[in-house]
Amino acid sequence: MTTDPPRQKTGRARSGDTGSVRTLERGLSVLTALAEFGEATLTQVAKKVGLSASTTYRLLETLRQQGYVEWEERSGLFSVGLRAYQVGAAFSVRNTLLGAAQSEMQALVDDLNETANLAVRRAGEAVYVHQVEARQMMRMFTHIGAVAPLHCSGVGKVLTAWLPDTEVRHLVGPGPYPAYTPNSITTLPALTRELDAVRAQGYALDDEERELGVRCLATPIRDARGDIVASLSISAPTSRFPKKNIPETLERVRAASNQISARLGWRP
């Protein structure tokens, strides 16, 4: 059984945006110092960050309540908590994914001369985390961090298709969904049929569903457990990516996504 660290008298919090930002900066400096120490007393942390013991304690206690810091009653030592590890692990996974994908994406673009994208799912959206641009005068481009809807993007369909039906309904809702073009899927029954097809064929198409004149082919990337953690896609104007080219393009994109998955530990 553990008890909370001893309470100290709290002072008046600073008000306004400037005060909030300053408090955040101090909290991050405290967490960084604690990470460098491994374990430390209140006095050690306060001295490291150049703050008073009372201010440092308030910051540590707030971080402890949120799970970013742990306190051991017997020793009186503070240490980094599980929540901070989870944040760091999320960065590590992303960094590992980009490291595994970069060379394959570059080779894919060198072969096809079309833009390659890498996306992951964040709640109800697909988020682009990396891109290698083609050398074409007219090429597809998206900002890193840009989002795409799950119901009418190739990467969104791939990131959704292997989820349980209940989770899909939770993510996309009952519909109707926004129609970006006349080809967009707008109802849950139509999306369910589309996702069934994606699972069966192992890839997804955005066939002018998000933007007229643009076609996108996406394949899944799996981790060591076989879970789909990302989607690799090729986007091109329909004039350069006609439907007759889908089988050939799919073979190359699928090979790249399988190689990335293998680097993440996946074995079919």
pLDDT at 123: 79
pTM score of the predicted model? 0.67
> What is the pLDDT at residue 16?
53
CA R_g for the chain:
24
Mean pLDDT along residues 42-69: 93
> What mean pLDDT is predicted for residues 64-93?
81
As a whole number, mean pLDDT of residues 249-258 equals 97
Q: Measured between alpha carbons, how far is 51 from 120 in angstroms, rounded to an integer?
A: 40
Instruction: Quote the pLDDT of residue 38.
Output: 86
DSSP for 74-106? TTTEEEE-HHHHHHHHHHHHHHHHHHHHHHHHH
Residue 189: HSE in the Cβ half-sphere, 13 Å Cα cutoff: 0
CATH topology (fold) of 92-264:
Beta-Lactamase (3.30.450)
For the ranges 28-42, 132-146, 197-211, the lowest mean pLDDT is seen at: 132-146
pLDDT of residue 137: 60
Amino acid present at 156: G
Give 154-174 pLDDT, tens digit per residue.
999 999 999 999 999 999 999
Task: Look at the domain 22-80 and name its fold.
Answer: Arc Repressor Mutant, subunit A (1.10.10)
User: Which of the four pLDDT bands, split at 50, 70 and 90, describes residue 1?
Assistant: very low
Q: Where are the domains of the chain?
A: 22-80, 92-264
Mean pLDDT of 206-230: 95
Report how far residue 43's alpha carbon sits from residue 59's, in angstroms, rounded to the nearest whole number. 13
209-231 as b/e: b if 16+ CB within 10 A: bbbeebbbbbbbbbbeeeebbbb
> Which are the contacts of 188, defined by CB distance < 8 A and separation ≥ 6?
169, 172, 174, 175
- What average pLDDT does the structure give for the chain? 88
Q: What is the mean pLDDT of residues 99-118?
A: 94
